[in-house]
Structures are given as C-alpha cells and as structure tokens.
DNA sequence: TATTGTTATACTCTATAACTATA
DNA sequence: TATAGTTATAGAGTATAACAATA
C-alpha cells in the first residue's frame, strides 16, 4: 500500500472546529427562518424558563450567563410578548419570569425543529451510530463519567 | 415501575446547548492557559495557514470568515511574531501569509493540547464509543453522507 | 472591469463595575 | 450587611460598505 501524506490529513480540522461547524449548522437553520423576531440566543434563554416561573438571577445560573446579560434578554422577550414578568409576592426584590402562550408555542416549535434537524443527521450517518453520538455528546457535555 | 416526570427529563438541554457546552470546554481549557498572548480565535486562524503560505482572501475562505476580519487577525498575529507577510512576486495585490517558527511551534502545541483533551474525553466514555462519536462528528460537520 | 486588501462602522454576545431597592 | 435587579461601559468576534492599489 502507498500512503500519500498519510500523517498530514487533507482535512486538518480540529475537534473544536468540527463542533463549531455543527453548531453553526443549527444557527444557520434557525437564523434563516422566521421566529417572530427572535434570534437563536433568545430561543436558548427562553427554553430555560420553567413553567412555574423563576427569578432572573436563577435563570442566569441555569443558562450559564450573568444576571446582567440575562436581564437584557428577558427585557427583549417581554417586549416581543414571549415572556411576562410579575413581582414575587414573597420577596419584593424578585421579578418572577414566566412564559406567555406565545413563548410556550415558540419553545415547542424550537424543540420540534431541532428534532427535525437531528432526524436529518441520523439519516446521514445511520440511526444506530447517531444514537451513540448523541449519548456520548450528552455524557461529555455534562461531565458525566 | 413508577416513573416520575418520565417524559420531562430533568435535563432539558438541546443538541445545540450540548454542542456549545463541549465547545466551551475547549475554549476554557485554552483560555486558562498561557498561549503567548494568543486567544483561541487566533490559534484557529493560524492553524489554517499552510506551510507554503497563502493570501489573506484565500485564508479567509478556508477559515470561513470575511477577508476584513481575517486581515485583522493576521495583523495581530504578525505583531505577536507568529506570522509574517511578504509581497507576492507574481501578483502585486497579494500579501503572502506564512507562519514563523514561533507560529509553527504554537500550532503544534495546539494540536497536542487538543489531542490531550480528546484522550480525556475518550477515557470518560470509552475508546470505542469515542471513536464512533468522533467519526460521526466528522461526517456531520463536513456534510458527508 | 475585476480582485486584493484596507479602513470605517455597526451589531451581537458577553463581561465587569457601580448603582438602587429590598431583605 | 447581603441579595435582586438595573444601568453603564467595554471587549471579542463578526458583518457590510466604501475605498485604494493592482491586475
């Protein structure tokens, strides 16, 4: 057998690059669609709001961002009618964040759209291999050994 | 068997979230280390410069960014001594970009560091499963069916 | 005319610091 | 004093537009 450039792959991409490329596929899919004025980042934040509602500080922890940044997204999502903010009866400092029906609808729509993207991926590489990919991704992302 | 919240996983993360989390693990590893003043984005751009050199416009295509943005990174990498720019003898418009020995060294260091991160991941989920994960990622990222 | 690379500008996302109002 | 949330500000990363130099 003859190897040409055997140890210098034509495709010298790194793991990081490939993770980024796959991530961008989703961003592009969502970015090219109409989401009621919401960008992918809005959808991400909104998806973390639990049905029972939560505070901005707690939401920030869940999403993994600062409360300042989180507050900005919440303000924008209130403006677009996807979230509502009420005072917390138990603590005057807290502003309780909840999804509106429009927010619920967009959140469901997002989940369905992502599932559709994943079905496309599974079709590309095979259901069995994609399931392994997905489980490993889940374990690695959450640091579960 | 009793299922509590069986269809509402405690962990309601999406694929996009998990891809982002894994990507962030790498960014944090690199961001917390000393890379001669380079940020992860610099390392990424530098990694695409071929040994024979290339133009800024061509490099931008390879990296997947605009030539304007690419030109900025190249300027910074020239300032840090990781890249050099020479006029192209065949085309007066082109500025030929090459890595310096320092640039080569940092690029090799990056490849080794990423391989180390991947070995850690493989240890978490098992070599066999990680290999499948890696191959599927590669196929999906590059759109190969 | 077309292309390389620049400067100028703006937008998204994230981060820190300083402030207010409640507790 | 500690915490919830705000405003102000800055930086990284990316994008478009307009331009100069060369082909």
For B96, phi then psi, to 5°, come to -80, 125
Query: And the tokens for B80?
Result: 């840090």
Whether residue B14 and residue A124 make contact (CB cut-off 8 A), yes or no, is no
CA dihedral over B10, B15, B17, B19, signed as positive or negative: positive
Question: Which residue from B minimizes the CA distance to A28?
Answer: B16
Task: Please tell me the distance from the alpha carbon of residue B95 to that of residue B101, in angstroms, as a whole number.
Answer: 19
Instruction: Output the pLDDT for position B143.
Output: 79
Does residue B127 sit at the A interface (CB-CB below 8 Å)? Answer: no
Q: How many CB atoms lie within 10 A of CB B6?
A: 8
Measured CA A96 to C1' D11 distance, in angstroms: 31
Q: Which residues of chain B between 45 and 74 are close to nucleic strand D, CB under 7 A?
A: 65-66, 68-69, 72
Question: Is the CB of B132 less than 8 angstroms away from the CB of A137?
Answer: no
What is the dihedral angle through the alpha carbons of A57, A59, A61, A64, rounded to the nearest 10 degrees?
-130
> What is residue A2's predicted lDDT score, i.e. its pLDDT?
34
Torsion of CA B16, B21, B24, B25, to 10 degrees: -140
A71-130 pLDDT, tens digit per residue, is 999 999 999 999 999 999 999 999 999 999 999 999 999 999 999 999 999 999 999 999
Strand residue runs (E) in chain A: 54-55, 83-88, 91-99
Bridge-based pairing of strands B83-88 and A54-55 is unpaired
* Average per-residue pLDDT for chain B: 90
Cα first-last separation, chain B: 40
Q: How many CB pairs under 8 A join A and B?
A: 120
Test B145 with A133 for CB contact under 8 angstroms. no
CB B58 within 8 A of CB B89: no
Model pLDDT, residue A14:
86
Q: Distance of CA B26 to CAs A24, A123, A125, B73, Å?
A: 17, 28, 25, 20
Which chain B residues touch A118 with a CB distance below 8 Å?
A: 15
Contact (CB, 8 A) for A98 and A53: yes
Mutate to test the interface with A, among B39, B132, B134 (most CBs of A within 10 A): B132
pLDDT single digits (tens) B115-139: 999 999 999 999 999 999 999 999 9
Torsion region of A3: left, alpha or beta (phi above 0 gives left; psi -120 to 50 gives alpha): beta
Asked which of B1-5, B15-19, B140-144 is least confident by mean pLDDT, the reply is B1-5
B17 contacts in A (CB within 8 Å)?
44, 141
Asked if pLDDT for residue A70 goes beyond 80, the answer is yes
Do B26 and A18 count as a contact with CB atoms less than 8 A apart? no
């Amino acid at each position: 057998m003859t190897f040409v450039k055997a140890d210098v792959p034509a495709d010298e991409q790194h793991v990081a690059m490939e993770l980024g490329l796959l991530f961008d596929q989703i961003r592009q899919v969502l970015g090219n669609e109409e989401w009621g004025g919401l960008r992918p980042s809005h959808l991400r934040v909104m998806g973390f709001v639990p049905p029972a509602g939560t505070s901005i500080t707690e939401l920030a922890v869940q999403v993994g961002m600062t409360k300042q940044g989180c507050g900005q997204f919440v303000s924008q999502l209130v403006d677009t009618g996807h979230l509502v903010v009420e005072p917390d009866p138990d603590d005057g400092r807290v502003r309780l964040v909840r999804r509106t029906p429009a927010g619920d609808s967009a959140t469901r729509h997002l989940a369905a759209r992502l599932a559709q993207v994943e079905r496309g991926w599974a079709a590309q590489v095979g259901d069995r291999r994609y399931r392994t990919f997905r489980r490993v991704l889940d374990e690695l992302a959450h640091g579960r050994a």
